[in-house]
């Protein structure tokens, strides 16, 4: 009897402690933020800087890909999903089926997909059609000679296509913009895990062509000037052309919330769109929205 009483007391004490704990926790609001690997670095920078602005809000950032982030939003695991593409019809549909409010899209930055080649490659410009001929299923361009280019140090002039794995938002965006709504990639491209791998590989491979978000390009690579159609003037990828939409392979980077953002999430998004938040976008190599 005494024994059971004691256990009951202990249990009570434990419960009280637990309650106290959780109440002290709730002073600090935690925002869960997950999604696009393209956005993950800038999202982390935002989260870090925001903790200095508002110490009572902690933003937890993780990557995994746009699809993963949106799936987590639908499953109620995150407050804000990061995406480097717009939400798909099916994703909107599955939100509706889960009885959720419609997702609201916030354009937080802009990005251009830079097509790049090895620094020794003499290519100066390519059209979207030529890129489709190189990357697209059924495209007949398999050597640099087919494009009228001679690349020094490249065995057999074979074009080594570097692409991304199918889970990447950059992959989906490139496919949509360059290969068309129903287009597919030609088999046999080297599909890398991340943009950094693409950059590394192209830096060391004279025959290679690759693509990534603007933030990853470096001086050792040669960015290709891209024209929307054969014979048109080409546009170099940079902050102005990406923001104005003149560069043919530019996109918005988005954050999604369920319904209009409220409370801490709204404050956070407002801060991201403020000059302080957008300065971080520029530092990370992307293009600010305003």
Partner 1 sequence: MTAKQDVNPQQATSPPDDERKARAGSPLERVIELAIKASGFSAILFVFAIFFFVFSTASEFIFEKLDFVEFLTSPEWYPTSLSNKRYGTLALLAGTVSVTGLAMLIAVPLGLGSALFISEFTSGSMKEGLKIVIELLAAIPSVVWGFIGLAVMNPLIIEVFDAPIGLNVLNGGIILGLMSVPIIVSIGEDALKAVPDSYREASLALGATRWQTARQVLFPAARSGLLAAVLLGVGRAIGETMAVLMATGHAVQIPGSPLDSVRTLTATIAAELGETAAGSDHYQALFAVGVLLFLLTFGVNLAADLIVRGRSSR
The distance of closest approach from Cβ of residue 86 to partner 1 in the complex, given in angstroms and rounded to an integer, is: 14
- Token readout for 46 is 């935002």
- Token readout for 21 is 């704990």
Contact criterion met (CB below 8 Å) for 179 and 135: yes
Eight-class DSSP state of 130: H
Determine how many CB atoms are found less than 10 A away from the CB of residue 46.
25
Distance of CA 94 to the CA centre of its chain: 22
Residues 6+ apart with CB under 8 A from 25: none
Tell the residue number behind the tokens 């993780």, with chain if given. 62
158 vs 267 by CB, closer to partner 1? 158
The distance of closest approach from Cβ of residue 24 to partner 1 in the complex, given in angstroms and rounded to an integer, is: 35
The distance of closest approach from Cβ of residue 5 to partner 1 in the complex, given in angstroms and rounded to an integer, is: 36
The distance of closest approach from Cβ of residue 151 to partner 1 in the complex, given in angstroms and rounded to an integer, is: 10
Q: Which residues pair with 256 in a beta bridge?
A: 81, 105
71 vs 132 by CB, closer to partner 1? 71
168 vs 284 by CB, closer to partner 1? 168
Q: How far apart are CA 270 and CA 70, in angstroms?
A: 21
Signed CA dihedral, 70, 74, 75, 77: sign only? positive
Q: Which residues pair with 169 in a beta bridge?
A: none
Q: Which H or E element spans position 162?
A: strand 160-164
The distance of closest approach from Cβ of residue 95 to partner 1 in the complex, given in angstroms and rounded to an integer, is: 14
119 vs 230 by CB, closer to partner 1? 119
Torsion (CA) 47, 52, 58, 63 in degrees, nearest 10: 10
Helix (H, G, I), strand (E, B) or coil at 111: strand
44 vs 142 by CB, closer to partner 1? 142
Find the distance separating the first CA and the last CA of the chain, reported in whole Å: 72
Residue ranges binding partner 1 (CB under 8 A): 64-65, 67-68, 71, 154-156, 158, 160, 165-167, 172, 181-184, 187-193, 201, 204-208
The distance of closest approach from Cβ of residue 101 to partner 1 in the complex, given in angstroms and rounded to an integer, is: 21
The distance of closest approach from Cβ of residue 30 to partner 1 in the complex, given in angstroms and rounded to an integer, is: 24
Q: How far apart are CA 126 and CA 216, in angstroms?
A: 20
The distance of closest approach from Cβ of residue 202 to partner 1 in the complex, given in angstroms and rounded to an integer, is: 10
Cβ burial, residue 208 (10 Å; 0-12/13-18/19+): buried
160 vs 261 by CB, closer to partner 1? 160
205 vs 236 by CB, closer to partner 1? 205
2 vs 187 by CB, closer to partner 1? 187
């Amino acid at each position: 009897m005494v024994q059971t009483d004691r256990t009951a007391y202990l249990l009570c004490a434990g419960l009280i402690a637990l309650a106290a704990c959780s109440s002290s926790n709730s002073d600090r609001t935690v925002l869960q933020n997950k999604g696009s690997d393209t956005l993950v670095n800038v999202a982390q920078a935002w989260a870090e800087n925001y903790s200095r602005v508002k110490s009572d809000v902690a933003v937890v950032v993780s990557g995994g890909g746009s699809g993963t982030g949106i799936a987590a939003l639908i499953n109620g695991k995150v407050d804000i999903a990061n995406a480097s593409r717009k939400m798909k019809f099916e994703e909107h549909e599955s939100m509706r089926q889960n009885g959720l409010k419609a997702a609201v899209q916030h354009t937080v930055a802009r990005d251009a997909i830079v097509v790049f080649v090895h620094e020794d490659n003499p290519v100066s410009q390519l059209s979207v059609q030529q890129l489709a001929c190189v990357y697209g299923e059924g495209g007949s361009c398999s050597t640099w000679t087919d494009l009228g280019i001679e690349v020094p140090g490249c065995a057999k002039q074979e074009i080594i296509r570097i692409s991304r794995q199918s889970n990447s938002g950059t992959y989906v965006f490139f496919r949509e913009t360059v290969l068309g709504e129903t287009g597919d990639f030609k088999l046999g491209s080297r599909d890398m895990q991340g943009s950094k791998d693409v950059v590394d590989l192209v830096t060391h491979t004279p025959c290679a062509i690759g693509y990534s978000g603007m933030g990853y390009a470096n001086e050792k690579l040669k960015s290709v000037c891209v024209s929307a159609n054969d014979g048109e003037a080409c546009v170099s990828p940079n902050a102005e052309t990406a923001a104005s939409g003149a560069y043919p392979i530019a996109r918005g980077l988005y954050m999604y919330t369920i319904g209009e953002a409220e409370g801490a999430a709204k404050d956070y998004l407002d801060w991201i769109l403020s000059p302080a938040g957008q300065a971080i976008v520029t530092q990370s190599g992307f293009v600010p929205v305003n």
